[in-house]
Amino acid sequence: MSDIPAPAHQPFRLSMLLYDRRYRSMTIQVVVFILVMAAGWWLVDNTIRNLQALGKDFNFGFLFQRSGYDIGSPPIPYNSDDTHLRAAVVGLLNTVIISILGCIAATFLGTAVGIARLSNNWLFARLMTIYVEMFRNIPLLLWILIVYALLTEILPAPAAYRGEDPEWSKILFGNVALTNRYTAIPSIGLTNDPGMLDLGFRIMINWATIAFAVVLIGGWLVRRVVLNRAQAAQDRTGERPTTWWINLAIMTVPSLLLIWYFGLHLIQPELTGFNFSGGLNLQNGFVALWLALTLYTGAFIAEIVRAGILSVSKGQTEAAFALGLQPNRTMNLVILPQALRVIIPPLTSQYLNLTKNSSLAIAVAYMDLRGTLGGTTLNQTGRELEAILLMMLIYLALSLLISAGMNAFNARVKLKER
Amino acid sequence: MSEMHAETVPFVRDTMIPPAQPPELQSGAVKWLRANLFSGPVNTALTLLGVAIIWFLFSHFWDWFAHSVWNAGSLTECRQIIAERWGEGSRGACWAVIRERWHQYMFGFYPPELHFRPVMAFGFLMVALAPVLFSETVIIRRNVLIVTTVATLLLMFLLKAPMVWMVFAAVILIGSVILAERRVSRLLVFSFLYPLLGVWLLWGGSLWGPIMVLVALGLGWAAWRLLVGFSPLLAMIAGVLVTLGLWLFAVGPAASDARSLLALSIIPVDSDQFGGFLLSITIGVAGIALSLPMGIVLALARRSDMFLVHTLAVVFIEFIRGVPLITLLFVASLLLNYFLPPGTNFDIILRVIIMVTIFAAAYMAEVIRGGLAALPRGQYEAADALGLDYWRAQRLIILPQALKISIPGIVSTFIGMFKDTTLVVFVGLFDPLKGVSDFVRADINWKGIYWEPYIFVGAIFFIICFSMSRYSMYLERRLQRDHR
């Protein structure tokens, strides 16, 4: 809307603050500002008075006091003599771990189901529809509780694996043992251990892990160089040099060499005494939360993937085939890039939802951020205001981080209009 | 050549061949199977996998369902009956727990002799929704209203409602059916009054509170009416101020004064007696009804040109969307009292409703913002060209279209919110899923029962959420105006 400039000689009158478009928005903003400030002042004033009445102050000193509670299988060394701050960090790490694992698994599951729902197979498509509708229309909490009950009620105690001919036997070639308290999985052992790098704060990281990370990232960078060269060669001569075996070698050979050098092997969980040892024991709370989050979010992602693929018009596929592209190249070069544009924004919000939903760990006693900082710490110190405020800010930071990352990814794949 | 052919007698068949069946492999079930289940190796493998999944589920769960027991006093009794009937070592579902405790799943600890009140409130809710949600066709509206009337009265009769209440409900329900037949827009008055009526029916107490709230609203309207000729903006401000001021400072004392004159009171029910699906539906419906207008306002604020308004809306929305609902519920239960004047202590359900509303409104705002952004620019320009002011343009042109576009998103927000009402268990309320089930399991008779309560609660949630999503799809089709 274009404003007609008022004649210059018209004098300013007070009523113009209300009736003149040019000034009215200023008036409204000032009023809103005053109202918001007044409301904020009212809340803060109330809080101060309430805290005074209770004889409390507002400080975060409790974070540096001894926590005095234990956390089962923490990701970094932790015991009850550590501070509340370290407990909160352990909780945060647990939240991050379950979120990352959940996002990865849900993406795979969701993509597979989304494609399966579009398959020609009548029976399989119907089954997948039932799965999606079941999980989308029933509260997540119910799924967490059901999976948890399945694990704790149906699975046997570790003792069932005892003896020559046990009642239960380990699955996946004797690598995984399911029990009613934990799932025992193998851990990775090194015969030629290079030792640990101390990062401070009693956090150690194995040199072998660093070596693998360096090799993988380096391999990926070299691969990009090779691909760019191949592209340049193709632009120059019209013939693309064969690169697949170079890439394969770059990505696998150094890793294989490292595996051979460090003597990497799996340590199978063995029943010693009453419990499994040797491998990792994943607590049932963790497994239940992970499975339930994966299945639940997977159903939503399946719908997103399906909508994304359906949004690419059939003519695109037909055109690609008419140009002589093979089906897999059609998928990679024509369908997916267009579908991704539709898929990524809602996928981001599903990742955010999964991260936030991981706070339901409260139902299965998995000590995530809410369980440590917003649970035991809060109850022990009685610092509701500080603990909840801090917890909310951390969740907010996590959410903003995820959406920033996904937005950057989205910016790369989105339609470049000129 | 052509000459030769010209002399030959042309052969033209002069009788019809009777239509033949297509070859066996090209028709009917066989063709369908070949096309849909066995069209290739991958497809066949998928079919086999699907059959394997079905067989797995069937073989593991069928006998459990088939051996259901509905009549028993405890889990041990259930097991005994199953062992007697189907032999030692067989297992079965013990639905007797649902039969025995259904009232707790439905109403929590609401006094049993008052169960008819929530039922009546729910019936009235359907009537209040009818002119808004079910008025696309006369037939649907008629069906909804008649089914509601019959079901509500029947249930109230079964729950042994007193005669006075039966007559009250019958008058309102049958009256609304007749009113809807004559002039459906009149029913909107009932929709408008419903929130107060519903609150009164659910929590009980004196009728004077709701009446005074209405009177304050009326006085606010009168103030607006008085000033509207002078200046519309001032009139709006005065109306809002008068209403809010009366609500905050005058309604309570006036209601208690009136109560001392004439009680007009029904048995009050405390919030901690609410539970089960009654709690979920109360929180869900209140949250839905309140979050939609708040979401619209937030969405408009976020799209505003005014920098301050826009920034505040962005900060608010992103903050709420960035934290889990559980933390907000903790704010409701632990912190809200810090933020309010000392000595204020109000109802936990109300606090939870406030937080759930704020949470849902932030999501709603984003959905509606998407709808607003999807409108072609021409619609805004057309509104400007007609000389409409901001609010008229929004109300008459922009919002109806934007809301129509965002129906799927709005309904999925509703569904998500309704599912999230189960989280109130973590602030000590009796939600049907964990609160009531844990309570039932704490009873020695039902100790160790897991699946039946979960399946029962899950099934009810599924029915409600699935019908909401189907209804939204139907609505979307009904409102579709583009002809493709």
CA–CA dist B100, B94 (Å, integer): 11
Within the 49-78 window of chain A, which residues sit less than 8 Å (CB to CB) from chain B? 49-51, 53
Q: Are A139 and B451 inside 8 Å of each other by CB?
A: no
Residue A1 confidence (pLDDT): 47
> Residue B406 is encoded by which pair of tokens?
């965002």
**pLDDT band at residue B457 under the 50/70/90 scheme:** very high
Q: Which of A120, A168, A166, A113 is nearest to A136 (CA)?
A: A113
- Chain centroid to CA A87: how far? 21
Tell me which amino acid residue A28 is.
Answer: I
CA of A120: how far to CAs of A320, B34, B47, B54, in Å? 21, 11, 10, 18
Q: For the residues of B423-442, what is the DSSP string, one character each?
A: GGGGGT-B-IIIIIHHHHHH
Contact residues, chain B, for A370 at CB < 8 Å: 324, 326-327
Dist CA B210 CA A281 (whole Å): 58
Pairing mode of beta strands A177-178, A182-185: antiparallel
Q: In the prediction, which pLDDT does A7 show? A: 53
**A362 contacts on B by Cβ (under 8 Å):** 326, 426
Q: Are A3 and A21 in contact (CB under 8 A)?
A: yes
A contact test, residue of B307, B326, B377 with most A CBs within 10 A:
B326
Q: Does residue B330 sit at the A interface (CB-CB below 8 Å)?
A: yes
Tokens of B19: 């239509």
Residue B88's pLDDT band, with cuts at 50, 70 and 90, is: confident
The pTM score is 0.87
In chain B, what residues touch A116 (CB-CB under 8 Å)? 46
* Beta-strand pair A270-272/A264-267: unpaired
Measured in degrees and rounded to the nearest 5, phi and psi for residue B303 equal -95, 5
A72: tokens are 């089962």
Contact A356 B325 (CB under 8 A): yes
CB B356 within 8 A of CB B324: no
* Cα-to-chain-centroid distance, residue A193: 31
Q: What is the DSSP letter of B17?
A: P
The pLDDT score that the predictor gives to residue B428 is 85
CB contact under 8 A, A121 and B50: yes
> Which stretch of A391-405, B50-64, B175-189 has the lowest confidence by average pLDDT?
B175-189
What pLDDT is stored for residue A359 in this prediction?
92
Summarize pLDDT for B14-26 with one digit per residue, the tens: 888 888 887 777 7
* Any B CB within 8 A of A35 CB: no
Higher pLDDT pick, B236 / A132: A132
Which residue in chain B is spatially nearest to A362 when comparing CA positions?
A: B426
Q: Find out whether A142 and B433 touch, Cβ atoms under 8 Å.
A: yes
Contact A339, A316 (CB under 8 A): no
pLDDT for A134-182, tens place per residue?
Answer: 999 999 999 999 999 988 888 888 878 877 777 777 777 777 888 888 8
How far apart CA B185 and CA B156 sit, in angstroms, is: 28
Mean pLDDT, rounded, of chain B: 85
pLDDT for the residue numbered A29: 86
Q: Which pLDDT score is estimated for A102?
A: 95
Instruction: Report the residue from B49, B323, B384 with minimal CB separation from A124.
Output: B49
Read off the tokens for A76: 């970094």
How many Å apart are CA A375 and CA A352, to the nearest integer?
22
SS (H, E, C) chain A: CCCCCCCCCCCCCCCHHHHCHHHHHHHHHHHHHHHHHHHHHHHHHHHHHHHHHHCCCCCCHHHHCECCCCCCCCCCCCCCCCEHHHHHHHHHHHHHHHHHHHHHHHHHHHHHHHHHHCCCCHHHHHHHHHHHHHHHCCCHHHHHHHHHHHHHHHCCCHHHHCCCCCCCCCECCCCEEECCCEEEECEEEECCCCCEEECCCCCEEEHHHHHHHHHHHHHHHHHHHHHHHHHHHHHHHCCCCCCHHHHHHHHHHHHHHHHHHHCEEEECCEEECCEEECCEEEEHHHHHHHHHHHHHHHHHHHHHHHHHHHHCCHHHHHHHHHCCCCHHHHHHHHHHHHHHHHHHHHHHHHHHHHHHHHHHHHHHCCCCHHHHHHHHHHHHHCCHHHHHHHHHHHHHHHHHHHHHHHHHHHHHHCCCCC
Instruction: At A380, list the tokens.
Output: 């022990």
CATH superfamily of B269-483: MetI-like (1.10.3720.10)
Q: Is the dihedral of CA B169, B170, B175, B181 positive or negative?
A: positive
Rounded average pLDDT over B77-101: 86
What lies within 8 Å, CB to CB, of B205 at 6+ separation is B265, B266, B268
From residue B471, how far is each of A141, B143, B415, B477 by CA, in Å?
Answer: 25, 15, 12, 10
Give B169-172's long-range contacts (Cβ < 8 A, gap of 24+).
B169/B120, B169/B123, B169/B124, B172/B124, B172/B127
Q: Which of A29-43, A85-99, A195-209, B328-342 has the lowest mean pLDDT?
A: A195-209
The residue among A380, A396, A368 whose CA lies nearest residue A89 is A368
Which residue would you say has higher pLDDT here, B449 or B481? B449
Strands (E), B190-281: 205-206, 265-266
Question: Tens digit of pLDDT for each residue in B182-235?
Answer: 887 888 888 888 888 888 888 888 888 888 888 888 888 888 888 877 777 778
Average of pLDDT values for A354-377? 89
Of B300, B406, B295, B421, the closest CA to residue B361 belongs to B295
Q: At B275, is the secondary structure helix, strand, or coil?
A: strand
- Read off the pLDDT band of A354 (50, 70, 90): very high
| Chain B residues with CB-CB distance to A369 below 8 A | none
Contact criterion met (CB below 8 Å) for B255 and B84: no
Tell me how far apart the terminal alpha carbons of chain B are, to the nearest angstrom: 54
66-85 in chain B: CB under 8 A from chain A: none
Distance from CA of A130 to the nearest CA of B (A): 12
Q: Is residue A370 less than 8 Å (CB to CB) from chain B?
A: yes
Chain A residue closest in CA terms to B424: A141
Q: Which helix (H) or strand (E) holds B5?
A: helix B2-7
Contact B356, B417 (CB under 8 A): yes
Which one-letter DSSP state was computed for residue B69? Answer: B
Average pLDDT over residues B290-295: 92
Count other Cβ atoms within 10 Å, centred on residue A33: 13
The contacts found for B214-221 with CB under 8 angstroms, 24 or more apart, are B215/B246, B215/B254, B216/B242, B216/B243, B216/B246, B216/B247, B216/B250, B216/B251, B217/B243, B219/B243, B219/B246, B220/B246
B94 pLDDT more than 80:
yes
In angstroms, the CA B306 to CA B388 distance is 19
Question: Residue A228 pLDDT > 70, yes or no?
Answer: yes
Say if the Cβ atoms of A46 and B469 lie within 8 Å. no
Outline where B67-162 has alpha helix (H).
Answer: 75-86, 96-107, 116-133, 138-158
Residues 248-277, chain A, touching B (beta carbon < 8 A): none
Reply yes or no on whether the pLDDT at B89 is more than 90: no
Q: Which amino acid is present at A188?
A: I
Q: Are B335 and A43 in contact (CB under 8 A)?
A: no
Q: Among partner residues A121, A384, A399, which is closest to B43 by beta-carbon distance?
A: A121
Q: In angstroms, what separates the C-alpha of A206 from chain B's closest C-alpha?
A: 34
Residues B115-161 pLDDT 10s: 889 999 999 998 888 887 777 778 888 888 889 899 999 998 888 88
Residues 6 or more apart whose CB falls under 8 angstroms from that of B219 comprise: B242, B243, B246
* Under 8 Å between Cβ of A84 and A63: yes
Tell me: the pLDDT tens digits for B254-263? Answer: 777 877 777 7
CB A387 within 8 A of CB A310: no
Q: Which residue has the tokens 């005669």?
A: B163
3-state secondary structure of B14: coil
Q: Where are the alpha helices (DSSP H) in B8-115?
A: 28-36, 41-66, 75-86, 96-107
Of A28, A169, A319, which is closest to residue B312 (Cα–Cα)?
Answer: A28
Kindly report the nearest CA distance between residue A110 and chain B, in angstroms: 17
Q: List beta partners, residue B94.
A: B69
Distance from CA of A393 to the nearest CA of B (A): 8
Q: What are the residue ranges spanned by the domains of chain B?
A: 205-265, 269-483
Tokens coding B367: 């959905």
Cα gap A374→B329, rounded to integer Å: 12
Say what the pLDDT of residue A418 is: 60
CB A151 within 8 A of CB A288: yes
* Torsion, CA B250, CA B255, CA B260, CA B262, rounded to 10: 140
**What is d(CA A400, CA A89) in angstroms, rounded to the nearest whole number?**
18
User: What pLDDT was estimated at residue A105?
Assistant: 96
Distance between CA atoms of residues B268 and B203, nearest Å: 6
Separation between Cα atoms, residue A399 and residue A401, nearest integer Å: 5
**Identity of the residue numbered B65:** F
Closest CA relative to residue A84, chosen from A383, A320, A412: A383
Q: Higher model confidence: residue A186 or residue A301?
A: A301
Q: So what's the pLDDT on residue B7? A: 60
